[in-house]
């Protein structure tokens, strides 16, 4: 019985630990005629601690946007301004710059 529990615990941890932390997902959608395109950015906090002072930047020279805090295992969705739609990367930092991730488009 204990051996089975240990195996399940190892499998759960091997899946959870590599995905822990701050992740960014770029979601692009367009209609059938490709005339309307929407871009959303999903910022995930996959850890049991709150992430504070989340800052998002579209492109290396884009302006910084502040989004406050993301709770444990929480997420926020962001839509860039129309003048920022041609970004090549999304830079997300938090906890006074101690956490940073870059997602390329």
What are the pLDDT digits (tens) for 44-98? 998 888 999 999 999 998 999 999 999 998 999 999 988 898 899 999 999 988 9
Domain tally, the chain: 1
The enclosing domain of 64 has a CATH number of 2.60.40.10
Domain-located, residue 13 = no
**Cα–Cα distance for residue pair 90/42, rounded to 1 Å:** 11
3-state secondary structure of 46: coil
Domain-located, residue 1 = no
Q: What residues make up the domain containing 99?
A: 21-104
Are 91 and 102 in contact by the 8 Å Cβ rule? The answer is yes
What is the per-residue pLDDT for 36? 63
Quick one: which H or E segment has residue 12?
A: helix 2-19
What is the per-residue pLDDT for 85? 86
Nearest by Cα to 66 from 38, 82, 43, 40? 43
What is the per-residue pLDDT for 24? 92
First to last CA, the chain: 47
What is the per-residue pLDDT for 34? 64
What is the per-residue pLDDT for 42? 95
pLDDT band at 2 (very low <50, low <70, confident <90, very high): low
What are the pLDDT digits (tens) for 10-28? 766 665 555 557 889 999 8
């Amino acid at each position: 019985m204990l051996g089975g529990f240990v195996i399940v615990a190892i499998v759960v941890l091997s899946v959870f630990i590599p995905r822990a932390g701050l992740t960014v997902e770029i979601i692009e959608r367009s209609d059938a005629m490709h005339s309307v395109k929407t871009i959303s950015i999903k910022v995930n906090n996959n850890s049991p601690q709150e992430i504070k002072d989340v800052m998002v930047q579209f492109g290396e020279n884009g302006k910084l946007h502040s989004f406050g805090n993301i709770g444990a295992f929480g997420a926020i969705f962001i839509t860039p301004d129309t003048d920022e739609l041609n970004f090549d990367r999304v830079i997300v930092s938090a906890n006074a710059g101690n956490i940073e991730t870059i997602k390329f488009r």
